[in-house]
Amino acid sequence: MTIILRKEAKNYPKNNISYTYTTGMSDKPLYNNEITFESVLEKLGIGSNCTILISKMRYFLNTVEQLYEFSERLPLETADLPEQSLLTKIRKERIDAYSYIDVTGFLYDYYRDKKAALEKLFQEPINQFKLNKLATKDPSEIYNARQEKGKYCTVLEVSLLLM
């Protein structure tokens, strides 16, 4: 049996691409490089005393494209704390896309750069407190505890399981 595949050329109409973005947060459109992290914080009314939320936002929103995506997705959130729930969704999406799929890759990266490997595994910012909680643990135990707890668990949940 022989299967013959033909390559067909398809012409799709070109759409005009607009570089004007509206975020739903205000009526003023945002242009290419006009959006900044500080302007997003100001538009959302997030004060400097919200340090945990700001640190999570800084970890997840470090490019202009990620700021635009966050700004466009935020009005669609219906939870009491839409910024927090959207950041949780972004974290889960990144775990699905970028986290380790086997222990060997994690172990290799862990011995090269512990903090970077843990950030990739859990997709959350790792500070010194979290690092100290896992400092004496065998990296394969950390990975196995994360697998047991579920792939969306946090560093602190794993450290409590290993105590």
**Amino acid symbol at 161:** L
* Amino acid identity, position 81: L
Question: Read out DSSP for 56-113?
Answer: HHHHH--SHHHHHHHHHHGGG--SSSHHHHHHHHHHHHHHHHHS-SSHHHHHHHHHH-
Taking a C-beta distance cutoff of 8 angstroms, is the pair 85, 107 a contact? no
Q: Could you identify the residue written with the tokens 């407190």? A: 129
- Give first-to-last CA distance, the chain, whole Å: 61
Tokens representing residue 15 in the block? 């759409």
Question: What local confidence, expressed as pLDDT, does residue 4 receive?
Answer: 52
**pTM value > 0.85:** no
Tokens matching residue 93: 């999406």
Tell me if 48 sits within 8 A of 57, measured CB to CB: no
Taking only the tens of pLDDT, the chain with its 163 residues reads 455 544 444 444 443 333 333 444 444 444 456 788 888 888 888 888 888 888 889 999 988 888 888 888 888 877 777 788 889 999 999 999 998 989 999 999 999 999 999 999 999 999 888 888 887 678 999 999 999 999 999 999 998 888 8
CA 55 to chain CA centroid, nearest Å: 12
Nearest of 72, 68, 95, 97 to residue 82 by alpha carbon: 72
CA distance 113 to 66: 25
